[in-house]
Structure 1
Amino acid sequence: MKVLVKAPAKINLSLDVLHKRQDGYHEVEMIMTTIDLADRVELSLLPNDDIRISSQNRFVPDDQRNLAYQAAKLLKDRYQIKQGVRIEIEKNIPVAAGLAGGSSDAAAVLRGLNRLWGLGLTLDELAELGAEIGSDVSFCVYGGTALATGRGEKIKKLPPPPSCWVVLAKPLIGVSTADVYRRLNLENIQHPNTRGMIQAIENADFPGVCRNVGNVLEDVTLKLYPEVAQIKDQLQRFGADAVLMSGSGPTVFALVHHDSRMHRIYNGLRGFCDQVFAVRVLGEQHSLD
């Protein structure tokens, strides 16, 4: 028996850091939405009690470092599952890109194994398990559009944002999220208008969404990696409606309303950047069907 699960990437429409917590994490306030760029995760039962990961992408670990492995192990241990599973990951989301590819793969494994092993868990229960694996996994279990608070594990569902194109550009560099957070000066940041973004989404107000994009990690990453700043400049110069870095980077995305402008931006970037994608916003929550 096999189960195939789609694992979509996310972008941060807004990312704010409020303060450092006593547990060492940062208290965040993020608005995230899924986009139509996705990994495909295939789960199949093994006769032996084992977890095997395979991927053709050499940057994807095939052991316990992989969040998808950790998701399977967590379910096996928590519910005393004695069946093994083979996890095949077809990577389409760039690795270490600020798009939650690894977290989305883990969330897909939770949803898929829930079905394959007949666990009967709800999305809420799976999201709670996901919080034990990583900060973005809970959101990725639900998908759609949401306000994430705490360290990212407290999820409040929002309606889908207004329909638009998302043009993403990722240079061939990796960014350490921990390093970016370490360098963030909490005394000197300009907080995005999270409430304004929520209101714009609820009103299906595309110009309002564009006005309220913001990411407090952006300044840190742009200073560390000039090539990210160059991509952002290019997207703005090409006439995107809004431009922002996703997560801790290095991927920068543009929101674009009109097809013709999307094509112009996409074609202009392809000669300038290594990995470029043009996709639609998904914005709808996953179901367990």
Structure 2
Amino acid sequence: MEITRKAYAKINLGLDVTGKRDDGYHLVRMIMQNIDLYDTLTYKLNESGEVNLSASAEGVPTDDSNLICKVAHQLQKEYGVTKGVDITLEKRIPVAAGMAGGSTDGAATYLALNDLWDLGLTKEQLCKLAVKLGADIPYCIIGGTALSEGIGEVLTPIKEMPACHLVIAKPAIAVSTGWVYTELDSKDIPSHPDIDGIRDAIEGGDLKGMCDLIGNVLEDVTTSKYSIIKDIEKILEDNGAIRAFMTGSGPTVFAIYDDKEKAQEGYRAVKESGLAPELFLSEPIDPNK
């Protein structure tokens, strides 16, 4: 038996940090959105009980340190599964990009192995298991457009984001999420994004109103060290983007366009600049449809 799944990337239309728990996890309020950029994973049942992973991209770990393998072993242990799985990962989502590339692969693995191993678990049950391995995984299991709260595990689906065109641009730098949050903890947050306003604009179908309110409290931290992010945003906005902003802890920038040709112009401008070797045209998507 074999199952193939697409694991979609996400962007943050709003990201606020509201506090910190005693265990070190940060409390957040975020608007999350899947986009049409995805990894492809193929799962083949084996009788050996082993979990074997291969990946198309160099530098992606294929041992038990990979979240995909951690998910498989967790399910085996939790439910006494004696069968194994051979997994092939075709990687397209940039690594360490603030787009939940690892978390979405983990989420796809929960969903696929639930079917492959005939576990019969609901998405809610999978989410309870998933949060033990990563705060973004429950959102990636649910997908679509959602308000994410708590440490990321409290999810409220909302109306689909207004139709638009996206340019996704990742510069050739690596940003440590741990460093970003440590820096954030060392200073006051001067202003917080209007998460409820972003949600209202989305549910009202107001693309421009949503773009006007987009905010990410991590951006000032990350761009203080990596000014290239601002340089990319300026190119995109100078070439027709309604708004360009950083997703997650960075360094990836997403730009929102109301016109496909404008998006293509922005894409070409960034490509010519050479600032973002990993560059994609995309659109918002609801994987549940």
Instruction: Name the SS for the 2:132 alignment partner.
Output: coil
Match of 2:80 in 1: 80
Of the three residues 271, 275, 279, the one matched with 1:276 is 279
Q: Report the Cα distance in structure 2 between the residues aligned to 1:118 and 1:235, rounded to whole angstroms.
A: 46
Instruction: Name the SS for the 2:262 alignment partner.
Output: helix
Q: Is contact 2:189-2:217 (8 Å) kept? A: no
1:131 aligns with 2:131: yes
Q: Please show how residues 209-220 of structure 1 align to structure 2 within 5 Å.
A: 209-220=210-221
Q: Report the Cα distance in structure 1 between the residues aligned to 2:93 and 2:228, rounded to whole angstroms.
A: 20
Q: Report the Cα distance in structure 2 between the residues aligned to 1:240 and 1:74, rounded to whole angstroms.
A: 43
Match of 1:23 in 2: 23
Q: Report the Cα distance in structure 2 between the residues aligned to 1:224 and 1:182, rounded to whole angstroms.
A: 14
- The amino acid that maps onto 1:143 is G
Q: Is contact 1:48-1:84 (8 Å) kept? A: yes
Q: Report the Cα distance in structure 2 between the residues aligned to 1:73 and 1:125, rounded to whole angstroms.
A: 16
Match of 2:262 in 1: 261
Q: Report the Cα distance in structure 1 between the residues aligned to 2:162 and 2:35, rounded to whole angstroms.
A: 12
Q: Is contact 1:19-1:186 (8 Å) kept? A: no
Pick which of 182-191 and 162-171 moved more. 182-191
Deviations 1:208-259, CA, capped at 9 Å, x for gaps: 1111110000001101112222112211222211111000000000011111
Instruction: Name the SS for the 1:98 alignment partner.
Output: coil
- The amino acid that maps onto 2:125 is E
Distance apart, 1:64 and its partner CA: 1.8
Stretches of 4+ aligned residues off by more than 3 angstroms: none
Distance apart, 1:59 and its partner CA: 2.1
Q: Is contact 2:240-2:263 (8 Å) kept? A: no
Q: Report the Cα distance in structure 1 between the residues aligned to 2:73 and 2:38, rounded to whole angstroms.
A: 23
Query: Once superposed, what is the RMSD of the aligned Cα atoms?
Result: 1.1
Q: Is contact 1:141-1:286 (8 Å) kept? A: no
Q: Report the Cα distance in structure 2 between the residues aligned to 1:163 and 1:100, rounded to whole angstroms.
A: 22
Q: Please show how residues 150-169 of structure 1 align to structure 2 within 5 Å.
A: 150-169=150-169
Q: Report the Cα distance in structure 2 between the residues aligned to 1:46 and 1:189, rounded to whole angstroms.
A: 53
Q: Is contact 1:244-1:252 (8 Å) kept? A: yes
User: Unaligned stretches of 5+ in structure 1?
Assistant: none
Match of 2:242 in 1: 241
Instruction: Name the SS for the 1:271 alignment partner.
Output: helix
Identity %, equivalent residues:
42
- The amino acid that maps onto 1:114 is N
Instruction: Name the SS for the 1:54 alignment partner.
Output: strand
Instruction: Name the SS for the 1:12 alignment partner.
Output: strand
Q: Report the Cα distance in structure 2 between the residues aligned to 1:90 and 1:285, rounded to whole angstroms.
A: 18
Q: 1:189 to 1:87 in 2, by over 3 A?
A: farther
Q: Report the Cα distance in structure 1 between the residues aligned to 2:36 and 2:4, rounded to whole angstroms.
A: 16
The alignment covers a number of residue pairs equal to 286
1:205 aligns with 2:206: yes
Deviations 1:9-53, CA, capped at 9 Å, x for gaps: 000000000112111111100100100000001001122111111
Q: Report the Cα distance in structure 1 between the residues aligned to 2:277 and 2:156, rounded to whole angstroms.
A: 35
Q: Report the Cα distance in structure 2 between the residues aligned to 1:138 and 1:216, rounded to whole angstroms.
A: 22
Q: Report the Cα distance in structure 1 between the residues aligned to 2:288 and 2:260, rounded to whole angstroms.
A: 27
Instruction: Name the SS for the 1:243 alignment partner.
Output: strand
Q: Report the Cα distance in structure 2 between the residues aligned to 1:286 and 1:182, rounded to whole angstroms.
A: 35
Q: Report the Cα distance in structure 2 between the residues aligned to 1:77 and 1:26, rounded to whole angstroms.
A: 28
- The amino acid that maps onto 1:254 is A
Distance apart, 1:203 and its partner CA: 0.7
Distance apart, 1:61 and its partner CA: 0.7
Instruction: Name the SS for the 1:169 alignment partner.
Output: strand
User: Unaligned stretches of 5+ in structure 2?
Assistant: none
